[in-house]
Structure 1
């Protein structure tokens, strides 16, 4: 790549946008700006410009008109249009008349625009390299014709020059003559495509399987002689990981105008593709987190009703011993469901590392609680060998649960995808022990093992042996990253026909890690005779709260935030229990209005999912407590005790 900066011309009639784009790109480009199409054309007449970025809507001329004229003044420039979503016709004109490289719709995001402009710069460099190489070959051919007497010697010099030139460039170069025979195949091409020049040169390009992605464009170029457009393609490699190439096919023309063949120039854009995939994956994970929160709300409300009425019956019901035992079973299973939903939400949330003293065995058990039922349904026998008395390690429980979750999921996949004759021997084993300054956990399976050629690749991001849609290839890479942030590591200890063993290593701290200290609250008695307002759009949740709290307090229950505000206008309350997710006016907005009205009584927020908005409101709106659904009767009692202490 040249060491000097390429010139980027930005044309827009709004000065703030020009200044913003100049600031965004000045580190990578020499940026010049114009506030009108005419001013932009004057700049193009006075100096070389390599990349042009133009707005569509300008007073003196439209962006597509400007780019059409700019193409005549700077035909080698790479042109980009940014426009509104409705300007499809303008984009079409810009493509047909201005031969634009691309366009981006407003409102654009800075990372998207940066990616497009840097891709345009790469396109310019590649096209310029093709022009330089074509010119060099044209000059060489003319020199060869003028010196017929020295033909043999000069031909050797020309071949040496060409080979040196092809070897020196970082792009892959493939030269094909008019008959379709491969004439040159440089070392960069060998590296990217994975086969030697000797297996390609002197063969027709249609007979070389590895050149399949270029066949259509080569045929077009050899037939028409027209320059090609930049394209991208995916290649399968011997190692199993896909490789992505960006390429251009152009005619090979000598100075006399005679066409000699076609030249393919290509570069490896795999890393760029991986970055795009990582961004897409991040967006998917964000969507999953939102979905999990919504599902939690829908599950937690009916679960809270089951748990609440069960506990009320257990506390006050006059039942036989058998019915009491049955209700206790209902309560226990409801609490188990509550723990499962809570564990699911832990995976949906993202937060900074919260280092606490942790029992590795406890983290493993929490993870297995999520997967145990699925393993049982798939006939996978789970074997635990967790050493007693292991020292606590310092770590983030959510992140370490993610590590063990990924390892268990991978082991399960290895087992259930085994050959049918192995289905009676599906064993997933987890062992923990202390090994000097480390706590070690081995996760093993009796699957078919990992092939030896893949051992070095399994920790690479996006590498996966699963079928499309069955995995992202991020699990092991992310898990190793988490463990290394904890000072540990993830290793493939052994693999073979008898299965695979992964080793997790976590350091034992030199000295005990202090947990976050929470001062114990003084013992308080739940107040009586309190006026309480319950706000929830779920009828059964309101009924549970009213049933229990109404035994010794005056309770009013309403179904919406608007009804709550009307109630708070006419009488004072000693406590408000306020749901967050409600139609028309949600809980946070209701509390904001109530505080503006001068309501200062304690408020407890009820929610199936605690997100950043709720946490921010906790201090801003003086929330007494966040009560996560489904809550138990004992948690309601604790809330009343806090109200008593707050008086």
Structure 2
């Protein structure tokens, strides 16, 4: 049976190569080379698992040879055999990763054998790691393509269907076919929301945090303008108080996600029977950070739900929702090193308090 480990031993003395072959020929598949040129030819041609070299050779030293092989074949562990002790050279070679281990000559067979086995285990572990990384990269590429399809290819037919429904509404024909048009409208809105939440979660988890000047007043107003076009905000009064005492710097993408999900949650939790629906947004910036508070007089929730609402796909407080909004909010806050606290009472409403550190320009 051919030994599993391929070992290349480089030495300018044939006697040393013969001794190595005699000692280990039954344990490894052995390759030998009398010169650096011959060794590089073997490395180009065969898969070598462990590389062994003598330190003193007429062309270059073993350490210098290992520097070359480290650049060309970085994943092969290198074992140096030396007949003399040059601590400075060896220490530098070890620290720079040029050699995996060094052994003094004449070598001890057991010590050298154990070193080869350890080096081979190191080679296998690195190879498995590279394969796992390649698999992860392949999976990541597939995920990128999937999210691209969600945000572009799937959004296109949703936009077309929404446009058709808008024409039906403009022509006042929503009641022509009973509730069919309304059911279709509700389904399309829900599908668009699911797609938006999925893409939002992906971007929150993947995008790099970027710091820039945040103007909360304009940000909140733009979000309220966006939500004002939806049917769910028609009977809700919004009270906005923004006090930007000092300039605030943060990741505008994730901060917008945080505020948008707070507003969306407050809107969805309104009670239909409440005659005076209210949502209050308070923001104050200081040198240390920004404090954001969103208060509503909606459905509220039992204490048992407060600790679970940030779990993915938890729908206890909003049975009709996807259960991702507050989870995405928490993920975004973690990227910002922010915190969130919740106070809620069933039938009376909820208060969400957010704290986000300020990251001023250096």
Give me the TM-score of the superposition, normalised by structure 2: 0.43
Name which structure has the greater RCO, CA cutoff 8 Å, separation 6+: 2
Give me the TM-score of the superposition, normalised by structure 1: 0.25
